[in-house]
Structure 1
Amino acid sequence: MKKSDQFTPTSEVKPLPQDSQYLLRSNNEIVFLLKALAKKHAAISAYYTSNNDFATTALLDVDTGTNRIYLDLSPSQSANLALQSSGQVLCVTVHDKVKVQFDLPGLQLTTLDGREAFVAPIPDKLLKLQRRNYYRLSVPYNQTLKCTIPLPDQMPVEVEIMDISLGGIGIIGYTPEIPLEPGMVYEHCSLNLPGFGTIITSLQIRNSFDFTLRSGVHTRRSGCTFLDLSPQTEALIQRYILEQERKYRSKLMDLE
């Protein structure tokens, strides 16, 4: 493979390390995890350039007999062409709220069960990060994310989201009279991600403390954990985070 074909992404999406305690090399472990992802057709962000351009696809099947994995085509035809022409594709997905990442040496077009699909060899190593390694995105300054939390025997409270990850959110902008205390669980909370949709989930408050804004206004801030996210919701949050990162990097490049 030519050096120019190698994928060298920046920021939070990085090449697989050569040595890491989270790097799986056992074929049995890798196949087991990939089959679990294929069973739920896990959404995958497939990066194909050093500028962190990516396409959204899904893992369809794992064939140990031929040592191949099959991925769905992207809705974008231009992205499909880019994936086929790329010498290396970096795949990022989520399994049980844990980030999973692996490299594929390019994708070839084939058919699976009568439909077009991509095929590639089963990767010989795979990175599976622990939960504490979630990447937490600070909400861009030009966006306002809101979360509506239903309260028992009270009107729902709307709070501002300061940061978001696959594990949870940080919220701010409510008064001490609002009973958001550590350990409490709130169901049917609503989060709107502009351009991606609305998430309905349960939140558990992990910590709460007083906070003073630069303006001098006193408020409260809390860290919250998502409970029992569906694979579809995890994929939506992942796509939102990756898209914000892509926009941020694009702006930095424009300033250079």
Structure 2
Amino acid sequence: MDNNEFELQDARYQVSSRREIIALLSAMMKDNLRLTMLLKDMDIENEVPTSILHMDEDAMFLKAAPDPDLNKAIVEGGDIVFAANPHNALIKFSGKVQRTQVEHFLALKVSIPESLVRIQRREFFRIAVPAAASLRCKISFTGADGQFNIVWASVHNISAGGIGITDNSACMPLATDVTYNDCKLELGVAVQVPVRLKVCSSRKEELQNERFLHHFGCEFVETPRAVLASIQRYILQLERELNAQKIKDTG
């Protein structure tokens, strides 16, 4: 995945200044902040945590994964997408990964990106959706077997930039960079808005009795202004309700 393939809506948040990019990455290294490698189309955990160990003028050196097979998959996986959340912002970029060593320890080497995306959290304020709200998203798609599916996924967090959802039926495939074009997002009682969702992260949770849940982090794609306004109104309303409940609980 090339940096130019990030969402068009992210273009206005793109940072191309090499000096600024190095400053952002150096600050993350100094604070030992978590950097997540987002893998796609693999039968393994899709999000791999790492951190920046060292930097030079042309590259950064990252903590390797604990599993040799996972490191092999990362190196052979082509361009890997990286994401981090330093100081109330979202940073993401992509690059090819190589094996190397730092002080005789296995590490991963990535070239300093030519550009990255930096989005302030205030642009996409994410709020947890209480279970009592029972917020859902209807997702329609055709599976690999040609079967048409409709999944009502539970929404557990929401922002103007996307949603976190759980597929209780475990029917949605655990794949990233997949876009679902036919979705209906509930915003309260009897209110639904059409959205397109791009899966940015996914993971599987195993429950008792051989049951599974599939969790996804999704971005909205090309959201119409009217729909975005409805989402923002819902978020503000939900925030007011949560604040009112906090005051009541502490009163």
TM-score, normalised via structure 1 length: 0.47
More helix by share: 2
TM-score, normalised via structure 2 length: 0.48
